[in-house]
Copies of this chain bind each other. A is one copy, B any other.
Amino acid sequence: MLNDKFNREHKHISLAHGSGGKLMHNLIKNLFLPSFGNPLLSKLDDAAVFEVGGKKLAFSTDTYVVNPLFFPGGNIGKLAVCGTVNDLAVMGAKPLWLSCGMVIEEGFDYDILSKIITSMKKTALQAGVEIVTGDTKVVEKGKCDGVFINTSGVGIISGDPLDIENIQEGDAVIVNGSLGEHGIAVLSCRTGLGFTTRIESDCAPLNDFIDEILSNSDGVRFMRDPTRGGLATTLNEIVEARDYGILLNEKDIPVSDGVKGACELLGFDPLYIANEGKVVVVVEKEKANNVLEVMHKHKLGINSAVIGYISVKCKRKVCMKTVSGGTRIIDMLVGEQLPRIC
């Protein structure tokens, strides 16, 4: 059942298997899908969609292992609520109910745990979701790293669910602001790396923003949040095995000077850095300006921009017209750029 070649090449799990990039996709395709395989899982969407009593529900899960636990603009608690809320929201769902499963390391400071919980509470209130069920495990000192938090979530989809199958040639690809801030913010506070610029994580619940977009405009085909593996990985997921690709314009991709500087310093590419408050919106070409207008009105969308188009000229690939006039292929993340970013 398992892919033997993959198996032989990867006798042990590496950090890159959790990166969101190519190795993780291979792990999912070679191990998880053949085992669990069912139509819902096989879509590999940010959430599974099923029907109950005539209503469409979205169901999503994520475990957060970010290191360090606190970073400029957030902490693991805020992240754990935002991440799952956003995974539901990009499916077009209204997130409603969250679970919280904690693994805590023996000896963990009670006050820090309390700060994390308070942050989860605040973010849940902000996002309009309730944490309705939970579980707490404690493992011996040295058997986890402070605290890991799983949140799973259930939301209701009122309209038609957004579906990757809706995407068509010529559709505009929009992003709601500058890229890479979450990844660089987390990295900036790891031991030994000191930046002069303070870069804050963009970590935020996107559900209100997405609700504004969907309620006040039409033409939205598909959404996804570019978290682990960054924009490049998310766009590659969109075009994988499709008859179309994406053609980006480098000059239109918003990246802040702080992130640019940090990336130059460290040899990173902002397109591969994780975001936690960004959404990629694929929109019918003629409706793109309307959608942009709606996005610009919301505080999370002030810097929204069309960054490229769906094009049959680069099937299965993400290509980018560079500022210098060339065109380069933007591959999925290979290996591990920033472990434990979320």
Q: A residues within 8 Å of B by Cβ?
A: 2, 7, 10-19, 24, 27-28, 31-32, 35-36, 38, 40-41, 45, 47-48, 50, 52-55, 57, 59-65, 67, 96-97, 99-111, 113-114, 117-118, 120-121, 124, 130-140, 142-145, 148, 150, 152, 154, 156, 339-340
Contact = CB atoms under 8 A, between A and B. Distances in A.
Contacts of A50: 96-97, 132
A328 B155 CA distance: 47
A64 B31 CA distance: 20
Copies in the complex: 2
Contact of A103 (B53, B61, B65): B65
A99 B61 contact: yes
Nearest to A84: B135
A28 to B, nearest CB: 7
Given A36-B120, A48-B97, 7 more contacts: A11-B111, A12-B108, A15-B106, A16-B138, A17-B104, A17-B136, A31-B110
Nearest to A19: B138
A117 B150 contact: no
Given A50-B132, A55-B52, A62 B339 contact: no
Contact of A134 (B61, B64, B106): B61
Contacts of A47: 133
Most chain B Cβ neighbours within 10 Å, of A2, A40, A59, A156:
A59
Most chain B Cβ neighbours within 10 Å, of A120, A130, A138:
A138
26 contacts: A2-B114, A11-B111, A15-B140, A18-B104, A18-B137, A27-B136, A28-B136, A31-B110, A31-B113, A32-B136, A36-B100, A36-B124, A40-B132, A45-B133, A50-B96, A59-B99, A59-B154, A101-B150, A135-B150, A137-B340, A140-B339, A140-B340, A142-B142, A143-B144, A144-B144, A144-B145
